[in-house]
Structure 1
Amino acid sequence: MKLYRVVFATLSVVGFCLAADQDVLTILKQQSDISTFIGILEQFDDLVNILNQGTFSVLVPNNEALAAFTNDNPELSNDTNAVRALLEYHIANGTHPSATFGLQPLFVPTLLTNPNYTNVTGGQVVEFAAVNNRSTVVTGVRATSQLVEADIFYLGGLIHVIDSVLTIPISFPATITKAGLTDLVALLNKGGFLTPSSPAVNIVNSLSDLTVFGPNSSQYSASFTGWNGLDNTDLLSILQYSISKGPVLYSSEFKNDTKIPTLDGIPATMYEVDGQFYVDTSLITTRDFLTSNGVLQILDSPMNPNTTGQLPLSSPGSHSGSGSKGLSTAAAAGIGIAIGALILGGALGVALYLRIKRRRRNNFSELGGGQTRDPPPRYELDTKGITEGAVNARELPRSHTFQIEHPVKPPSPLEIDGQERSRISVTIHGSPPRHLGFQARF
């Protein structure tokens, strides 16, 4: 089926190159049920010129779609900047025949670069996908617009008529609220991340090209206690570890064993297991909520900077059908191996300690001629006056020599032949001291 669509897409492009020789307004006016869009586009001559001079895919809401949008947003009709931004978001770069939708994840930048509406480098994107085998455009809060008439070629690109107006992606806080991600909202409120004074609000609203990984699970909602006792610094670290800044990581960029830089400074790792993608140990359950400054990827559990680089425990299909919550076979085997390694390591440590102790004892024995080594020898102090005939202290010479010798018996273990080899002479000038301290080291 995919091969057929690729061939068809190729033939469509060839046909476009051969047949598209009229400007965009001429081709649009030949179509039915899109007159409202034509009237809006004609108000912006520069956009018409851009369309005729470049290569684009123009996504044209039909009259019914624009009527419904106007009823829901009456204030926009008098806001020229808002109308222009909406038009720009309906013009995607490059030619993308409908047959290519859904062949692989495809996120295409549009002409919308107005900083009041987007903070994504290169322009806010739309996703070209296939939903229920129908070519579909996915936009903000994962709103879908289906093609009702496709592949109308003009000089410079092609036109797709769609059944609803595209939704320009909004901020991260507004997205999670409007998309009904109630568990994620509750968890962020519990962490204090959505209060106006929180640094988190400034991060997710002001930085460009963000990829936010957030859990939306009842297990991690208002009743979650895993963050209890953490201070604001720890909580902010968890949030920053859950955010990557540029380039935006759409699902088209998912790859196994990919390092993801985070605002916390510690990289996370993406893994692919049985066609499912994980960030560290957290499974990505819903992909690609486009936001005004990037994308939100939904997880089954919060990310944790203390588990960075850990592998997923098991693939989603490896759990038994009985619903048992016990350890998987792989996990049990891993624990058994770990315990065995600890026991073996402990035994080796004890054996090594005993061996070193025995070796030291043998070394002392060898130094002492087969006996345990004696303590270091003690030395005696022998004093001699230079003038032997002095009678009283006044006649003592002002210079004395102190000879320090080891006793003759017992001999030092290092001098077992009894021969004296150590002598230290100390000469002191002046009156003899009452005490003399001496310390020798070997």
Structure 2
Amino acid sequence: MKVSMQTGLLCVLAAPIQAITLLQVLQSYSELSSLSGYVNASANATALLANANNFTFFAASNAAIAKFATQNSNALAEDVLEATLQYALVKGGYPSLSFSDTPQFAASNLVNGTYANVTGGQAMELVLGSSGSLEVISGNKTISTAPATDIVCGGGIVHIIDTVPSIPISIVAEITAANLQYFVSILNAGGFLNTANTYVNQVLEIPDVTYFIPNSAGALSNASALVKNSSAADLQAMFEYHVVPGLVAYSTSLANGTTFKTAQGDNVTVTVQDGETYINAAKVIDSDLLVANGVVHVIDSLLNRFDTSPPPAATSAIASSTSTPATAASATSTHAPVSNATSHKSNSTTIGVAVGVSIGGSLLVAAIAFFLFRRSRKLKKQRASSARDSHSTSSIGEKGRNIYVQHEVEVQRGSNWNTNRNDGSPDGSPTSTSPLRVQTMGINQFQSMHVEDIGGPEYIAPNERFQAPQDSFNLQRSKPNEKLETERGSP
């Protein structure tokens, strides 16, 4: 018994492991039964999915198929079904973790010229939605979300989606579907709908085209004014300046500083500023409208080939330029012409950080300087106090205070105080009147001279007269309005 169990186990391990196929996935999931039925009924559809390799397939759920059939009367026609499956079968692997906030434009297997005119296959946009779910954005901005993801099978990955992807339509049909009313009026005002203008049909039918379509009241007003004074050649140049042939430039290709050559022959320049994208000075207000032969970006103003200047400097840069000269220089360099610019995103941040660091550093230096200044003054006062104490003898008053007093009298000419000093003229009269600084000395110093003439060491009466030694002065002020008299003291 043990031998037979071991033999069976070895046989199972030795048997080759076969991966489930894409067709088997459709048959295995009940929510894909409608899709599986339509595929099995079409030989072309069956062959397409059976031979697929290195793919990501966005399989429409039963509810998605029912809604699609209701909205499209010919949805179940053979060619429509096949084209829809080709569009849902994307080249390359896109597991759920490869989706992010930055869109990806994945080429599909839809190369049928009846439905697509994009080299390499019509694309669909893959992005992570705001809710964190996987989103597939197809023609006319149709959004499909994926409730079930990362079903692995032989050759690729399957995501189950809730809406059938919409095959992009022609540029003419998209103008109506996207409700671009102002642009329709511009086409009418410029005579671009006239069948005699063959250049219009030429840019509508060629493959791989990027269209910049102005759609605003301002653009219509500008176009209407230009039409009045423009020749037929001018109008053709104006129309062709909004078309870039030979290139499908999705939003991911609109990098700052990029230039594109238009059908008219001149270039347009891309500027990315404060998170917004501009073509010359025209702002992109809606991007990535997928059409049969390329992509449409809607702009807010008419492009002028004679004025290719970038948009005005950002408001934040203007505010910074008024704060400090250094910031102004940074703002100027940030918003230089686009052809010399390399990156916009980090300059505003850098300016703000630089200004903040400069202000913080200045405040710190000022605080340190103020602290050192206060400390220096305090030390000077302490040294001055120590010097006075060491050169004078203190005397204690009646309340125990040091009554050492220093007076400075600055006598100015013509003031109420007058100092007359006898400089030794023959008649003994004063010969000059000059400012005098008088400092009373410590009480004990006077005591060592003529203490009996001063009146005691404890107190000097303010109105008393004292006798100083030779070369000293007698000071007296008897009344507030009298001048200070100095007389040479007798020996």
Q: Give the TM-score normalised by the residue count of structure 1.
A: 0.64
Match of 2:282 in 1: 282
Q: Residues of 2 paired with 1:301 and 1:167: CA distance?
A: 29
Q: What are the Cα deviations for residues 10-51 of structure 1, in whole angstroms up to 9, with x where unaligned?
A: xxxxxxxxx992101112222122211112222444554554
Looking at structure 2, the residues matched to 72 and 53 of structure 1 have their Cα atoms a distance apart, in angstroms, of 29
**For residues 20 and 267 of structure 2, what CA distance do their matches in structure 1 show?**
51
Contact 1:59 1:159 in 2 (8 A): yes
User: Which position in structure 2 is the counterpart of 1:22?
Assistant: 20
Structure 2 CA distance for aligned equivalents of residues 53 and 101 of structure 1: 22
Give, in angstroms, the shift of residue 237 of structure 1: 0.5
CA distance in 2, matches of 1:263, 1:157: 40
Aligned pairs for 1:133-212 (under 5 A) are: 133=131, 134-212=133-211
Q: Does the 8 A contact of 2:147 with 2:161 survive in 1? A: yes
Counterparts of 1:278 and 1:191 in 2: how far apart (Å)?
24
Question: In structure 2, do the counterparts of structure 1 residues 288 and 20 end up closer, same or farther at CA, with 3 Å as the change threshold?
Answer: farther
Q: Measured at CA, do residues 295 and 53 of structure 1 come closer, stay the same or move farther in structure 2, by a change above 3 Å?
A: closer
The aligned length equals 304
Q: Distance in 2 between matches of 1:188 and 1:126?
A: 28
Given residue 110 of structure 2, which amino acid in structure 1 is its aligned partner? Answer: L
**1:137-179 deviation digits (Å, cap 9, x = unpaired):** 1111111111121111111111111111111111111101111
Say which of 78, 81, 86 aligns to 1:80. Answer: 78
Contact 1:212/1:243, CA 8 A, preserved across alignment: yes
Task: Name which of 90, 103, 106 aligns with 2:104.
Answer: 106
Tell me how far apart the structure 2 counterparts of residues 188 and 317 of structure 1 sit (CA, whole Å).
Answer: 37
Q: Is the 8 A contact 1:24 1:48 kept in 2?
A: no
* Structure 1: distance between partners of 2:305 and 2:114: 33
TM-score, normalised relative to structure 2: 0.58
**Once the two structures are superposed, what CA deviation does each residue of 1:330-362 show, in whole Å capped at 9, x if it has no partner?**
9xx9xxxxxxxxxxxxxxxxxxxxxxxxxxxxx
Q: How does 1:62-73 map to 2 (within 5 A)?
A: 62-73=61-72
Task: Tell me if the contact between 2:287 and 2:298 (Cα under 8 Å) persists in the aligned partners.
Answer: yes
Task: State the match for 1:31 in structure 2.
Answer: 29
Q: Which residue number in structure 1 is paired with residue 472 of structure 2?
A: none
Range moving further from structure 2, 55-64 or 181-190: 181-190
Distance 1:42 1:99 in 2: 31
8 Å CA contact 2:242–2:262 kept in 1: the answer is yes
Question: What's the secondary structure of 1:170's corresponding residue?
Answer: coil
Partner of 2:301: 301
Structure 2 vs 1, CA of residues 20 and 251 (structure 1 numbering), >3 Å: closer, same or farther? farther
- Alignment equivalent of 2:118, drawn from 117, 120, 127: 120
Q: 1:223 to 1:307 in 2, by over 3 A?
A: closer
Aligned partners of 1:46, 1:198: CA distance in 2, in Å? 41
How far apart in 1 are the matches of 2:168 and 2:277? 24
Change (3 A) 1:37 1:286: same
Q: Over the residues paired in the alignment, what is the CA RMSD in angstroms?
A: 2.5
Structure number with higher relative contact order (C-alpha < 8 Å, ≥ 6 residues apart):
1
Mapping 1:47-62, distance limit 5 Å: 47-51=45-49, 52-62=51-61
**Percent identity over the alignment?**
31
Q: Relative to 1, partners in 2 of residues 1:270 and 1:42: Cα closer, same or farther, differing over 3 Å?
A: same
Following TM superposition, by how much is the alpha carbon of 1:296 offset from its aligned partner in structure 2, in angstroms? 0.3
1:287-366 equivalences in 2 (<5 Å):
287-308=287-308, 310-315=309-314
Q: Which amino acid is 2:57 matched to?
A: V
Bigger Rg, which one: 2
Superposed displacement of residue 280, structure 1: 1.2
8 Å CA contact retained: 2:260, 2:267: yes
Report the Cα distance in structure 2 between the residues aligned to 1:189 and 1:101, rounded to whole angstroms: 42
Asked whether the equivalents of residues 282 and 303 of structure 1 are also in contact (C-alpha less than 8 Å), the reply is: yes
Aligned residue type for 2:275: G
Q: For residues 46-86 of structure 1, what are the alpha-carbon distances to aligned partners after superposition, in whole Å with 9 as ceiling and x for unaligned?
A: 55455444111111111111112112222342x32222111
Partner residue in 1 for 2:429? none
